[in-house]
Amino acid sequence: MLQFPLGKSSALKKSLLILVAVVLAVLAVSVLVFAAGGWRAIGQSEAGDKVSVSSVRVLKNNQRIALVRVEFKEPAKLPQGGPFVEMRARVRFNCATGVATPTTEWFYSRDRSGRFVVSKKATHDDQFGKEAEGGFVDLVSKNVCSQTK
């Protein structure tokens, strides 16, 4: 068995912990980039906002999880703040009851150079996709719940 002096052992453990954290961070970013590459436009809200979905997973008990993206036609002032140019969310859909519950939401705006910046992150939203946020939840629910694979 290898034995290290006490100082080297804790430094090695710290280095391994940092390495694991970096690898997990890279994997998380890779998953988001991969998922973002598969956006499929499904329509527009009444206000003309573009609605897309990605990474739909079929779960047990007639439930689905999907990534939802709404690109606002005009920067939107939402209950969470704003103005936002885009909203993305990971959403759980109960297709039997019609309830859509975001597990995480990101609201984006643009900086002076035009790049997206995360302006707000929310984990609870009672108004998700309803009129206050553009009225797109029915469009998304119908599309996601119609998928079988």
Whether the Cβ atoms of residue 88 and residue 105 lie closer than 8 Å to each other: yes
Half-sphere exposure of 114 (CA within 13 A, CB side): 0
Q: pLDDT, tens digit, for every residue of 129-148?
A: 777 777 888 999 999 998 87
Share of the chain above pLDDT 70, in %: 77
Output the pTM of the full model: 0.68
What's the confidence (pLDDT) of residue 65?
94
pLDDT in tens, 55-106: 999 989 899 999 999 998 888 877 777 788 898 999 999 999 988 888 888 8
Confidence of residue 41 (pLDDT cuts 50, 70, 90): very high
pLDDT at res. 37: 59
Q: DSSP label at 4?
A: -
The segment with the largest mean pLDDT, out of 22-26, 40-44, 85-89, is: 40-44
- Residue 99 vs residue 119, higher pLDDT: 99
| Element at 16 (helix H, strand E) | helix 6-37
39 or 132: whose pLDDT is higher?
39
CATH number of 40-145: 2.40.128
